[in-house]
Amino acid sequence: MPNEFIIYPAIDMRGGKCVRLIQGDYNQETVYGDSPFDMAKSFADQGATWIHMVDLDGAKEGKRINDQFVIKAAQQLNARIQIGGGIRSEEDVVHYLKNGVSRVILGSVAVNQPDFTKDMLKKYGDKIAIGLDAKDGMVATEGWLQTSSLSAIELGKKFADYGAETFIFTDISTDGMLSGPNIEATEKLALETGKRIIASGGVSSLSDLQQLKQKASSGIAGAIVGKAIYTKRFTVKEALEV
């Protein structure tokens, strides 16, 4: 469906808890809940059709660590789950998909192993999303600890050619800052790739969501919302109503 705009409430998991980091910094962490599943359930109960989950431990260690919470949510809740963090192999991809997860996000591995990513896109199609995290337009990897020499747009076009339909674009400078998303960069990526882009990072108000939604015809297909919900700027239900 073109012009569809989906709200993805976010659950970042570390040490089995729900946390938020500021700009991906593991030293700037706030814990918002002891149970990722309970948090996911509260989002689904408020009407969320999708939930975005991130295994922060997995992203750092390069392997699945908090996957049990993700699978429980996928199997027990009336919402679709997308997961990122720590997905490095086809075994990881299959593990999630066969256990009910709707979409698997390839981030660092997409940048570092384009051939593997191309293969996954060929096999699993739209069940794979590509996570592009950019700092000043350049792609960052490994939990944002490293910046590559590729621009998000160059990489986006390459993966679009490989068959990617959905991208999750994070402007790291806005992430966790509640400063408003980088709408311009997100829209540019959507127009250049011609694919669905989910905006991530910086959403601080319902008006941010409205502004993003106005770009749905350009290809901005949704927004991931984390800190704004946890700091009670608005609820998932309010976001969905807008």
The residue-averaged pLDDT of 41-68 equals: 96
The pLDDT assigned to 209 comes to 97
On the question of pLDDT at 147 being above 80, the answer is: no
On the question of pLDDT at 110 being above 80, the answer is: yes
The pLDDT assigned to 143 comes to 59
Query: Is the Cβ–Cβ distance between 221 and 192 less than 8 Å?
Result: no
On the question of pLDDT at 145 being above 70, the answer is: no
Helices (H), 163-199: 183-193
Query: Is the Cβ–Cβ distance between 195 and 161 less than 8 Å?
Result: no
Mean pLDDT, the chain, rounded, equals 93
Catalytic residue among 57, 67, 133, 171: 133
The pLDDT assigned to 197 comes to 98
The pLDDT assigned to 123 comes to 98
Nearest to 87, CA basis, from 118, 114, 115, 65: 65
On the question of pLDDT at 154 being above 60, the answer is: yes
Rounded-to-integer distance, Cα 175 and Cα 119, Å: 30
The residue-averaged pLDDT of 70-79 equals: 98
On the question of pLDDT at 89 being above 80, the answer is: yes
On the question of pLDDT at 144 being above 70, the answer is: no
- Distances in Å between the Cα of 159 and the Cα atoms of 29, 116, 195 are 32, 12, 10
The pLDDT assigned to 101 comes to 98
Per-residue confidence band for 174, with pLDDT thresholds at 50, 70 and 90: confident
The pLDDT assigned to 148 comes to 73
Which amino acid, 142?
E
Per-residue confidence band for 205, with pLDDT thresholds at 50, 70 and 90: very high
Rounded-to-integer distance, Cα 166 and Cα 47, Å: 22
For the question of residue 126 being annotated catalytic, the response is no
For the question of residue 133 being annotated catalytic, the response is yes
Report percent pLDDT > 90 for the chain: 79
The structure's pTM equals 0.94
Helix axes 183-193, 206-213, angle to 10 degrees: 20
The residue-averaged pLDDT of 7-23 equals: 94
Chain CA centroid to CA 182, Å: 15
Catalytic residue among 12, 55, 67, 92: 12
The residue-averaged pLDDT of 145-151 equals: 76
The residue-averaged pLDDT of 12-37 equals: 92
On the question of pLDDT at 2 being above 90, the answer is: no
Rounded-to-integer distance, Cα 200 and Cα 137, Å: 14
Tell the burial category of 62 from Cβ atoms under 10 Å away from its Cβ (0-12, 13-18, 19+).
middle
The pLDDT assigned to 198 comes to 98
On the question of pLDDT at 34 being above 90, the answer is: yes
